[in-house]
Structure 1
Amino acid sequence: MKQVIFGLALLLAVGTAHAETLKVATWNLGWHMSRTEAATWIKKCSGPFAKNPQTGQWEPATAGKPGWELEWGRDAPIAWDIARWAPCDVYQANFEIVPVTEAAYLKRTKQIAAVIADRLQADIIGFQEVSGEQAIRDVLPENGKDYEVCAFENFKVQRLGFAWRKELGAGECAYETSISLPHLATELQVRPGYSLALTIGGKRFRVLNVHLKSSCVTPVEAEPGSPRGALAGDNPHCQILQQQIVPLEAWIEGASESSDRLIVLGDFNRAIWHELHLTGPVRTDGSDPASPLGNSAKVNSLIEEIDDGAPASSDLSALVEHCPVSSAAEIACAVAEAPPDKAAWRAATKTLAATDVLGCRNPVGLDHILVGPGLSAKEAVKVPLQRLGRTLSANATHPNPILALSDHCPLVAKIGY
């Protein structure tokens, strides 16, 4: 069922919100590593590579091009363990790779810590694209002395983690393997979910952190002859995301029945608001999304499939996202969430990505916060990075580059419980 109305329902719920609130945030930190890992990565990328004439691959060598000068990409012919190490083209300026220094990376970690301390001030933070627990501690104020931290160390390097204030008590963290699609070949498997369980005010909270398959962002992009963005189409990325829907919904339904409060947050890599504002059936066969998904049917709308209201304990509300930098930013934010067409969506995104507005390359549409029954919130707010979202190359007067904190801006919400 279409749930565009749930934004209004949340606004009405504010008036009866509980006295207690949690400030919850989600932030994709963009291939973020610990300082120790970053130092090793910098050495690897600074080292020489030579092309093997037999295999056609670029391989580490005693002489040749540094990794910073190679042409990277999803299928680049480079001998590189992408499951363990970020590619060398993470930081770019004007589409050119920016070589990283340890001093620049240290400055970036300190700047992230300052944003978390001064502007997020969150009780619970779900991180995406972090290499592990130490990578999180490096960007928490005072190395996270006031936070509990958990993250997993297996799977691929773009991992998930949590930080939460110690006064909330001990938590239980677990990765949710089913969302990684373990039935696929190893190279095709995607990121698992990661959950945190806490007891707050006598209530058991479950928080699920997700980073779903990329490159199937919005149905607004789908056009005749082009499957891009069509969740039920032939785009291979959308086909992978399609397979994550059933295990994601199964986790949500199970967790909702075994806990008192439920929050789902993270990088969905999907503009769920676009799904809600478009017309059309949730499933290709027109069946009820609350019923089991048949083998012949595919899902057109991820959010309406996982949030079908059955069972009632799993009924989620997506928090409307605001960009309170300026009135122009708020207008662009609203257009980006409900664009009349692809051109309007791209124009609004470009406006928001500017360094005097939000400043992150992926300003809106990917990151979301959803809350279950018993929780109330007015909105989710994008925290602007502005100039901190840009990367600049080193030059003669500045021997160290300036590194973007992330290509995502943090998303924060005050949630009443």
Structure 2
Amino acid sequence: MGRLTRPDPRPATIRLLACAGWLVAALATQGAMARTIKVSTWNLDWLTARAPGDPALPRDLPHRSDAGLRQLAAYATRLDADIVGFQEVDSPALAARLFPPSRYRIVMSDDHVVQRVGLAVATGLTVTRHPDISEFDVYPPDAPHHLRAGLDVTIDDGTASLRILIVHLKAGCRNAAPADRRPACRTLARQLMVLDDWIAQRQDEGVAFLVMGDFNRNLTPSDPFFRQLEADGPLTLTTAGRASPCWGGTYFIDHILLGNQARAWLRPDSLRVLIYDAQDPAQAPNLSDHCPVSVGLDMP
């Protein structure tokens, strides 16, 4: 993986992250009093062991083979992150195929959707779980489908702690204005109110915090939705001013946001995207339509 480049200011142009190769070594520790941890978010694209034709799955969903799982696991090894927030995974057992118990503890949301969110945390870090943020499911109880809950945990390395929220928000409103009346935009706006409340609570508590996941939104510092989230205090949008090379190039919808002390922990120029070796859409059924996004944090 290489250093990110700033996108061309012209809206019709996408400039890409320059990828010089894989990041094969863990980020180095800066000073005796700091520990650098690598934090990543990765949407794994309907990672499920359910049989084709299961009523909970889309009819055209390709079946993930054992070879495909091994391929994903190889990328998880190359990612080599200490904390991975993942989305669209059906069970802890499947997550453990990518993030083995010898190195990671798996924590997942308790909702009953197929596309659950979760966290893989390196051994040696303590995990304290908080109640899931079920309020992200803004649909009524009798809705035929439901939205994903958020996973809320605190990670502690024995010296410092970090509150983490994993999200997977409603698709279909990547760029529209808050006043857009399409159902997807109205749903996303309601979810962002829930997220705004969670962020405001963390700002009031003064704890270091991080929100990461699939926002399904091209967040920028000037985006009205992002500005709403900053109403109670400044946030660092680690993907700001950058574009991704994933599957040929796009603007980010997978984001990592930092608040309070965690903003000062961000290692400069550490934003990376792990791209797949074969930039061939035929590989997508065995891989994912998202690539892992990561940053380094120098925890005190």
Structure 1 runs (4+) greater than 6 angstroms displaced = none
Structure 2 counterparts to residues 17-96 of structure 1, below 5 A: 19-33=34-48, 37-38=49-50, 41-42=51-52, 45=53, 81-82=55-56, 86-91=57-62
| 1:117 Cα deviation after fit | 1.1
Q: Conserved in 1, the CA contact under 8 Å of 2:109 and 2:132?
A: yes
Residue 395 (structure 1) aligns with: none
Mapping 1:300-311, distance limit 5 Å: 301-308=224-231, 310=232
Task: Find the residue that maps to 1:215 and give its secondary structure.
Answer: coil
Do 1:180 and 1:191's aligned partners in 2 also have CA atoms closer than 8 Å?
A: yes
Q: Counterpart in 2 of 1:359?
A: 247
Q: Contact 1:267/1:368 (CA < 8 Å) preserved in 2? A: yes
Matched residue, 1:372:
259
C-alpha separation between the residues in 2 aligned to 1:129 and 1:411? 15
Q: Which has more helix, going by share of residues?
A: 1
Q: For the Cα contact (< 8 Å) 1:152–1:160, is it kept in 2?
A: yes
CA distance in 1, matches of 2:136, 2:275: 30
Contact 1:180 1:193 in 2 (8 A): no
Contact 1:359 1:386 in 2 (8 A): no
Distance 1:150 1:415, change over 3 A: same
Asked whether the equivalents of residues 128 and 160 of structure 1 are also in contact (C-alpha less than 8 Å), the reply is yes
- What's the counterpart of residue 286 of structure 1? none
Aligned 8 A contact 2:65 2:286 in 1: no
Matched, 1:241 2:188: yes
Q: 1:130 aligns with which of 73, 83, 89?
A: 89
Partner of 1:403: 285
Match of 1:329 in 2: none
Contact map agreement 1:196 1:208 (CA 8 A) in 2: yes
**Could you tell me how far apart the structure 2 residues matched to 1:153 and 1:162 are?**
12
The number of aligned residues is 265
Unaligned runs of 5+ in 1: 1-14, 46-79, 92-99, 219-228, 279-300, 322-332, 337-348, 353-357, 393-401
Structure whose alpha-carbon radius of gyration is higher: 1
Cα distance in 2 for residues equivalent to 1:264 and 1:407: 21
Task: Give the alignment's TM-score, normalised by structure 1.
Answer: 0.58
**1:254 alignment partner AA:** Q
- Rounded to whole Å, the distance in 2 between the matches of 1:200 and 1:257 is 23
Cα distance in 1 between the residues matched to 2:210 and 2:94: 24
Q: 1:389 to 1:364 in 2, by over 3 A?
A: farther
Q: Secondary structure at the match of 1:112?
A: helix
Cα RMSD over matched residues?
2.7
Work out whether residues 209 and 266 of structure 1, in 8 Å CA contact, stay in contact via their aligned partners in 2. Answer: yes
Residue 363 to residue 31, structure 1, CA distance change in 2 (3 Å) = farther
Q: d(CA) in 2 for partners of 1:250 and 1:304?
A: 14
Normalised to the residue count of structure 2, the TM-score between the two structures is 0.79
Residue 25 of structure 2 is matched in structure 1 by none
Q: Distance in 2 between matches of 1:106 and 1:121?
A: 21
Which of 371, 384, 396 is matched with 2:275 structurally? 384
Query: Which residue matches 1:111?
Result: 71
Whole-Å separation in 2 of the counterparts to 1:213 and 1:126: 17
| Structure 1 residues 259 and 239: alpha-carbon distance in aligned structure 2, compared to 1, 3 A threshold | same
CA distance in 2, matches of 1:381, 1:153: 30
For residues 261 and 127 of structure 2, the distance between their equivalents in structure 1, rounded to whole angstroms, comes to 22
Distance 1:189 1:178 in 2: 11
Shift in alpha-carbon separation, 1:117–1:188, aligned structure 2, 3 A: closer
Secondary structure of the residue aligned to 1:307 is helix
Q: 1:363 to 1:88 in 2, by over 3 A?
A: farther
